[in-house]
Amino acid sequence: MAITIAEINTRNLRHNLQMVRQQVGNIPILAMVKANGYGHSVIDVSRIFRTEKVEYLGVALITEAKLLRDNGDNGKILVMVSPEPTDADTFIDSNIETAFSSFDIVQAFEQRARERDAVITGHLYVDTGMHRDGFPPKDALAVMDYVKDKPNINVVGLMTHLATSDSPEIDFADKQLSAFEKVRSSLENAGFHFKYIHAANSAGIANYPKAHYSMVRPGISLYGMMPTKQLANKLNLKPVMTLKSRVMLVLNVPKGDFIGYSQTYTAQRDMVIAVVPMGYADGLPRNLSNRFQVLINGTRYNSVGSICMDEFMVDITDSDVKRGDEVVIFGKQGNEEIDVYELAELSYSIPYERTAAISQRVNREFIYESHRITNSKFNITHIM
């Protein structure tokens, strides 16, 4: 039986999608499911999003898109990261769409599609200032002029990505949107029209209505989080994941003895500690050692000693905690809650990383209205 699990609340997942739809109206949704659905299990969350009629699923890599196809997904999928030229056959065979960021890729994909008498569908990615993906704005027209007479390349979308949409006090997102609008207008004046124009990520959906265009790309918001807790509250989002384990050992530690590797913690009194079978190999960052708390029986307890690869220790002195008791790393237990923002701040990170870093040996347990399903492997296929 699984001891450490990531519990996924499917009702909250659907609720968050509905909150996004309330923000954007009836325009299409591209639901981001990259990085194993931000750690929530890509196959399972994708099936839920499909039942909720999202237009697209978005992934980072072609391997993620292929995984979805191999598990029965037949809808539209967009790969965001620029692919290799040799990936063209996979895009063709699996009917997957790409974000074009490189003229070399446009040429290589056009050549291979022509050789196979096939069509590759893509979205023109414009770099409006983030300098990670996309063509410079000045090159957008030249790319479209190149593909306009190439029947084997079908560009259906125009897109960019906002670097600071979670910080509206910074005017950089406005500058990006202004640059994007100039590209869109110039392309339209040249006779190029796109079914899907998209720029808004989760924070862009909340803070920049003008960035909604004809499709939006929510990611972290679907899983009940945002870059800040305040922004999550603005959209009335609900956390989807609870990370929990159990006490597997209860040990007595004499005063003056060390706990864990490297002698980072010394017992200042006779202590009782609980050993919990989760460590940095499961996604609990080692820099939280001696610095974070967990919930047991609705009460906060301090971690002690260095986080190990597979275990960590908790001070339960003067308590009635016993072997087998549930341990919540983040989530609610009774009237108490430790949210993912707390762990993110303590580990000098962001909430995205805390869930995305949870490894594959942590089972994902999905809570539906009337039953639970455990998915213990990244590529397991099962019926909802």
**CB of 56 closer than 8 Å to CB of 214:** no
Determine which one of 34, 66, 76, 150 is catalytic: 34
Task: Annotate 321-356 with b (16+ C-beta within 10 A) or e (fewer).
Answer: beeebebbbbbebeeeebbbbbbbeebebbbbbbbb
* 129 neighbors 179 (Cβ within 8 angstroms): yes
Q: How many residues does the chain have?
A: 384
- The answer to whether 66 is a known catalytic residue is no
Tell me whether residue 34 is one of the annotated catalytic residues. yes
End-to-end CA, the chain: 20
Joined tokens for residue 87: 């990936």
Query: Which residues fall within 8 angstroms of residue 37, CB to CB, at 6 or more apart?
Result: 44, 45, 46, 223
Contact 47, 68 (CB under 8 A): no
CA distance 20 to 236: 10
Whole-number Å distance between alpha carbons of 44 and 379: 10
- The residue from 175, 261, 301, 322 that is catalytic is 261
Question: What six digits make up the tokens of 291?
Answer: 């610095």
Angle, helices 140-147 vs 103-115, to 10°: value is 10
| Number of helices and strands in the chain (H, E) | 12, 18
What beta strand segments (E) does the chain contain?
A: 5-9, 30-32, 56-59, 76-79, 97-100, 120-125, 153-159, 196-198, 241-246, 249-253, 271-276, 293-296, 299-304, 312-315, 326-333, 336-338, 363-367, 372-375
Active site residues: 34, 261
